[in-house]
Structure 1
């Protein structure tokens, strides 16, 4: 039964169906779920599970699987904060938590892989689906299943696509004349004399003196409008009755936005190249024993300027257009005592910093069919080894800048700042991880008189991880699951995990995590089946159980000591002669244990009108308790850090809805598949001080709630300031006014409360498509509602008054503009206006056209002449359109920190199947 998986759609792949007569379907799917340690018929599942398949994954151009899932799955919120090549991974939250990621059943995370090697991505949401993970299943799980070969001969598939990337948004800074004008205004507001004379302003405005009155648009100076993007992918698969194989080779290149200079013999751009090889082979050794060997290798090479990418983008905000010329009259680099980092020089004259990442993974399993002992009995042994290393090479160099002035005779003079140094050459191992995973499982499957079905599985596993120089981190335990169905109507599942880790005290090292699920397919009842022809399936399911999260530090139950300050006796002066002391580190907690989650989930799944319409509704209520936190109510008189303790309790609950409507007739087909999630959370308990006012408490408020002052507009006159509660001695008209919450006549720390939206977070997506024969158009929309962002990094004249101003600052408060969107301007520090307050909160709601693709497949009747099975051309765009109130401020709603921009990607390509 295609229920949850049908949310994720494509008009190109037909779904597998059961024996009931079906219309031609246009969505991918299967009759089974790929779950932990086993494959289970969907019709017998009581779990909250969603799936995504390859035809949808390949549509969104992103190096990481997080981008493929954005907007496609109810309950999963995927978001991106940077578009930097090689560092543009997505983060995702499943029902409010960061889920565990497994690949082919092994606990690992390869965020940067290619979609062509993936068969499906399964989202495991509730306790029944993840209890076998024990103390690693509390946050849900994402299971990636890679492709296997087929038994019907060899198939070759190749795909090539090329295109460009461009920023969704870049900040817009004012030119030199506007900057100087605004700066003088800010100085006047601070009671200071102007810095720029009228002749200075005229020179900036008419551009008559570019050396001493420059106007440099630094973004245009060092950034290109577009960057290249390309991918090449080849797969070979096939097999026979005894052997199956799938081999995939993929290359991806993601260029950067920095301009380069021909005089460099090395690359100074920020770019990313990735090479991936996967080989999956399955062999039937005899009629009782089969084996599979999966190999994965990945090389990732990234590069950036020697000054590093983040520093350059930071300096766009810290450097006004009039700071210095790019080059002086003699060709030297412009700069001065206030601006030592010429941005042009940073991008092309500071060398380069390449990084290299290497991954290698081997999975080997052997499965034995024990039908000779009992029909349906089997055993399997699995071993996996993974090695990862990332190293960075620093080949950077420094440069000197010069301030050009003229003497009394009009001759140029140059003052030097900094030193031009030689290129360094150092290599650093940033991280290296090694994983050894072993697993033994035994399963049993049996049918009773064709009416009832029993499945049982027991798994013992050990996961040993070595991260950098730390001692090994080991998870071990056993788990089991029993599933029973009667006539596909009455469903029962019971599962449990019992595992632990040595990072906990011996007395609290292992825990039991049970869960139970029940289901009832009402449509299989005779009184429905014989009377309601338009209803194919109607399943009710409910589950509940306990899962865990091993949020544990580095042996927090051991007390440790660190080197303290030395002291001497008598006239001891040299530090080396002083006596070394030891002092207590953070307090140990011999009772620390894992975090726990009690989860309840209920769902309704339905398929109607000969499977033209499918939908599902899920409600969940998850209580997370024994959360590891440091008490906020402690006293600094302790003299060291308080121990981590299991003291917090949070609750997450919500509603997930998803639906699919699809039709096909006479070669014309269309579909639409919306999904929406409403998520509400709150802190039920945390150890916090006894606040004097209830509105200051975090208990009872949303998890992660921002706190600050409540802005009440801007002061428009001195009389308003005098009549208001005291905010400070230097408040002037145009400053932010705050509410006196406790009515004591003083604005201070006791007037801070939750700020921003406290409504349930809503995120949604809609996948849709239309086509006629070989021509098709698909699109995916992604959005979020009740979302706030803090724009603290977009203030004028940051960097101690030396920073840039933006176009948004032109709508600042002045005596004639009382309805301004920005306070009065100031230079340098302004404690009143710069504190955290609701004034800087903006709506982060957005609707994004995540993907759109137009494709055309050459008619089948023409393909024999070409000796191919399929040829399909396509044009694809990712992040093409974003609708947001932040567009007016040239800010992407997911990238609000001014780092490397999120990118639009537009490509054209062709896929050929042989």
Structure 2
């Protein structure tokens, strides 16, 4: 695949769509229509949008009047926020058009498309939050869905964890389980998060941890639009690993050897040349994170084009996008070309007849990430700085004093004046040579998706009856294209800063002319659901809305015999009284083939209640409370999503050893029972309660509060303590574990406009406390029980600093012996500078029985804040997120430098007799030191932080100026991401070891609408 060809195709498609959508209808003389838009009291309404066919548009003036030219018997859409929209034909367009005012939170913009069903915000009684992207993208131009969710959506930790229960299921355009990473934000119309059991009930088993719904944009009647968004900028690493250089490494490793009572490895003659600005090619000091191998900044570019429009008979929406990220590795740019992604989406809605409408959606995405065969970022964590020089300059080869070298150099492959360096003892460790000469790999992913919905208006059967079918097909394919070349590396012999001999290792230089193809995976999915809906108003004050649903989803992966199948039947019965009292009884009957026969079905009932208190007479005329709704919900969601495998209810056997029989003349293989049978295994259960309110105060402040209590009960567990240890092979899986999650969430949004200045401030706060209620456990000491502690509790030893020389006696052989009365570690011999631990049980031994709860990995407090300031044509948006109350362990070799590991900067704070009072790292050791690298408070750090995720300054050009050049809108913006962070352990949080670093990005963007 040639990505340049795809880019040219992308450009051609956008140009063709632009030309198609920009065609103008021959301007024959039409009918000039004049009318006035008024409200129900006869008052003129200013600023009403009137949309005619082919992009014709008008806006009412201060007197509510508009003028528009129409061809034939065409229709116009009359629309203003806060009023019910009208579609009126020219023959019905009288002098006055009356718009009815919509109830608060019941306008067209307040409609929440919840994947399977839809309702407006006013009628919502669950813990649901929703964001429309229509206007936000102008001033918050992030391109990825997960970035948009983080910090803006109430009740979500990060981008998908709802209330700490785990990762929610994503529903995209009504299809459950699709990947949000394939979307760009320009094609997204609305994001909705369902958090309580009543809200997620219709999603059955898959909705256990919450549901995040994403709806893409669709064409609108008489709304012809062409939008272009171009962003380009630079990304620079926030933090890079810092390993010690060759001189420090050799001296420190010698120190480690002496600490172990061993001879030094590096002699003074090895070390001294490094002290006086040596020839770096003869005396290597290699750092793969330096500018010699990686770039100080890289380019990132994205281009998106949108085309939409239609009539009352058919509508369309097309989105085409291209995204490119330059590789951070600087060597061999042909191989390290970076990533490219191209996406095309088409959504079509059309009328079949007077009682059937339908939609067709098609999505195609192709991504490519081309890189060399060697991962320098990973190799940099282990490649010692003094190992050898990866590149040897040809101009330092002494071909005059050693004429034989001339032919050797001429026969070798030269790369930018360099020979590929190596060494005899490192023949299998040549990351730079492999990156330059080894070839390349191109990881390609392809995604195609198709949807079709058919809507039936069955009013002819009975008023209020409708039905819908929805069919989807998804195909995900990934493969790797690679070329693997053979090459030679050279070890140099030096004299007087000249190379006097070259010894070759490896293979003879040979380019592979064949591009290899390896399939990494193929996944296909088919989904279908059908629903019937009935709406009925009884005696004006009573309304009933009933929905019945059947759902099926099947996922098939290559090399996996068993399909993943999810299916359920669902219903939703909603009653309301005067649109102020709501009752929602929803549930599903779920089926699972992961459970034994007889237990494969389960009913999940939920109930929701809502009461709009502000509709009562004692609040209706309040000057403070404009809107107040009380709500409560509860229910049980039965799920098999926590059951990772099939047939866990069955006995399983494995091949054991052999036994002899017939006096040893014959033998048979023994079969061993590994797992017991449990035909009573059932669904896991989410037991949920949510109580809250929503309020709008003083026409400026929105407040939402929810208290929640959730139990994840009957979780599947391997019952290790059900039988005595000598019967351990009979242990079955059973529904046993139980976790509890309690907490609250608060959402605030404040909006105020004063003349040309407006301010919008939002805050989301989530507190989620967890507790283990039930576990199959049997610990000797109560402090090690998991029950009663947080579900993410970290267990480890409590450190008491370092052993000092006064803690030891020295025997006749010069060995350190702990003084009497001090607890003896069970992890190996210790000496001064090793970590000392607290003896929790007083048995004078430090072992695993001294592990206690030392922290928790999941943060109980999560929050996000956003600020939007607008003055005339300027707009400033800032988003910040944070958390506190959680911990983590620095567990990789960068921090826990053990034995022969490469030394990072953290070892500079090592313990020595001279630094005993200030040391931040244990004594160095050249061997494995099991005592120092146990999970303990010594290696634990606080993960609390507050960061500015992104900020954007936008300038919108005057609309009259835009119209004069043929545009509706034009804006410029400059934005930054990962701009600032406050954290006690910021240096640890921002550092990525062995992979692509975290970047700080600065982008310049242009947005155009036609």
Would you say the 8 A contact 2:792–2:856 is kept in 1?
Answer: no
Contact 1:59/1:851 (<8 A) preserved: no
Structure 2 residue aligned with 1:900, among 984, 993, 996? 996
Find the aligned partners of 2:945 and 2:201 in 1 and give their Cα distance.
35
Alignment-derived partner of residue 440 in structure 2: 352
Contact 1:446-1:455 within 8 A present in 2 as well? yes
Task: Pick closer, same or farther for the CA change 1:523–1:301 going to 2, 3 Å.
Answer: same
Q: 2 CA distance for matches of 1:334 and 1:731?
A: 39
Task: Encode CA deviations 1:220-276: one digit per residue, 9 max, x unaligned.
Answer: 1321112221111111111111111111111111222111337xxx5234x221111
Structure 1 residues 686 and 61: CA distance shift in structure 2, 3 A:
farther
Tell me how far 1:900 sits from its aligned partner. Answer: 2.0
Aligned counterpart, 1:734: 833
Deviation per CA, 1:354-377: give whole Å up to 9, x if none: 122121111111111112222221
Residues in 2 aligned to 1:399 and 1:124: alpha-carbon distance in whole angstroms: 56
Residue in 2 aligned with 1:190?
A: 260
2:676–2:729 CA contact under 8 A, matched in 1: yes
Q: Distance in 1 between matches of 2:515 and 2:670?
A: 38
What residue in structure 1 maps to residue 401 of structure 2? none
Partner of 2:383: 319
2-structure distance, mates of 1:199, 1:130: 71
Does the 8 A contact of 2:233 with 2:299 survive in 1? yes
Task: Tell me the distance in 1 between the aligned counterparts of 2:161 and 2:426.
Answer: 41
CA distance in structure 2 between the aligned counterparts of 1:828 and 1:315, rounded to whole angstroms: 22
Per-residue CA shift, 1:572-625, capped at 9, x if unaligned?
Answer: 99xxx9977765565454333221110001112110112x10011111110001
| Residue in 2 that maps onto 1:482 | 573
Of 731, 753, 756, which aligns to 1:664? 753
Q: Structure 2 residue aligned with 1:275, among 314, 317, 342?
A: 342
Superposed displacement of residue 418, structure 1: 4.9
Distance, in Å, in 2 between the alignment partners of 1:211 and 1:195 is 22
1:762 aligned partner: 861
8 Å Cα contact 1:136/1:548 also seen in 2:
no
Q: Determine the structure 1 residue equivalent to 2:49.
A: none
State the secondary structure of the residue aligned to 2:433: helix
Return the match for 2:305 from 216, 220, 234. 234
Q: Residue 259 of structure 1 aligns with which residue?
A: 330
Summarize the Cα distance change of 1:542–1:93 in structure 2 as closer, same or farther, 3 Å threshold.
closer
Superimposed CA distance per residue, residues 786-830 of structure 1 (whole angstroms, 9 cap, x where no aligned partner): 1212112144684751x3222232222222321222222222311
CA contact (8 A) 2:140 2:877 kept: no
Change (3 A) 1:358 1:193: same
Alpha-carbon separation, structure 2, partners of 1:58 and 1:126 = 31
TM-score (norm 2): 0.81
Provide the rounded CA distance (Å) in 2 between the counterparts of 1:398 and 1:602.
Answer: 67
Q: Does 1:784 align with 2:853?
A: no
Closer/same/farther in 2, CA of residues 482 and 198 from structure 1, 3 Å limit: same
Q: TM-score scaled to structure 1, two decimals? A: 0.89
- What is the alpha-carbon distance in structure 2 between the residues aligned to residue 595 and residue 420 of structure 1? 60
Contact 1:473–1:503 (CA<8 Å) still a contact in 2? no
**Is 1:504 paired with 2:581?**
no
Q: Given that residues 35 and 129 in structure 1 are in contact (C-alpha distance below 8 angstroms), is that contact kept between their aligned partners in structure 2?
A: no
Match for residue 139 of structure 1? Answer: 209
Structure 1: how far apart are the matches of 2:663 and 2:140? 71
Query: Relative to 1, partners in 2 of residues 1:705 and 1:382: Cα closer, same or farther, differing over 3 Å?
Result: same
- Per mean C-alpha deviation after superposition, the further-off stretch among 201-210 and 155-164 is 201-210
Aligned-partner SS, 1:822: coil
- Superposition pairs of residues 74-89 of structure 1, within 5 angstroms: 74-78=154-158
- Counterpart check, 1:39 vs 2:118: yes
Aligned length in residues: 871
1:384 matched to 2:454? The reply is no
How much has 1:477 moved relative to structure 2? Answer: 2.2
Matching of residue 334 in structure 1 with residue 403 in structure 2: no
Matches for 1:360-439 after TM superposition, within 5 Å:
360-397=448-485, 401-405=489-493, 412=500, 418-419=506-507, 423=512, 426-439=516-529
Q: Distance in 1 between matches of 2:498 and 2:440?
A: 39
Residues 410 and 460 of structure 1: is their aligned pair in 2 closer, same or farther, counting only changes over 3 Å? closer
- Determine the C-alpha separation between the residues in 2 that align with 1:300 and 1:842: 37
| Worse-superposed segment, 242-251 or 203-212 | 203-212
Higher-Rg member (1/2): 2
How big is the shift at 1:704?
Answer: 2.9
Q: Distance in 1 between matches of 2:875 and 2:1001?
A: 20
**Hey, what does 1:804 align to over in structure 2?**
902
1:698 to 2:786 alignment: yes
Structure 1 pair 638–59 and aligned structure 2 pair: CA distance change class (3 A): farther
Native 8 Å contact 2:857 2:888 kept in 1: no
1:607 equivalent among 696, 719, 725 = 696
Unpaired segments of 5 or more residues in structure 1?
1-13, 80-90
**1:897 deviation in Å?**
4.9
**2:373, 2:136 → 1: CA distance?**
38
Change (3 A) 1:563 1:276: farther
Higher RCO (Cα < 8 Å, 6 or more apart): 1
Q: What is the deviation of 1:443?
A: 0.7
Unpaired runs of at least 5, structure 2: 1-78, 85-98, 398-418, 809-817
Q: 1:557 aligns with which of 645, 649, 652?
A: 649
Quote the Cα distance in structure 1 between the aligned partners of 2:301 and 2:538.
Answer: 54
RMSD over aligned CA atoms reads 3.2
Aligned match of 1:82: none
Q: Distance in 2 between matches of 1:601 and 1:50?
A: 14
* Match for residue 147 of structure 2 among 49, 59, 67: 67
SS for the counterpart of 2:985 is helix
CA distance in 2, matches of 1:571, 1:899: 60
Paired position in structure 1 for 2:923 = 824
- Cα distance in structure 2, aligned partners of 1:335 and 1:603: 68
Name the residue aligned to 1:99.
168
Instruction: Provide the residue aligned with 1:159 in structure 2.
Output: 229
> Cα distance, 1:335 vs. partner?
3.4
Change (3 A) 1:399 1:744: farther
Q: Is the 8 A contact 1:218 1:321 kept in 2?
A: no
Contact 1:567–1:578 (8 Å) recurs in 2:
yes
The match for 2:935 is 836
* 2-structure distance, mates of 1:609, 1:734: 64
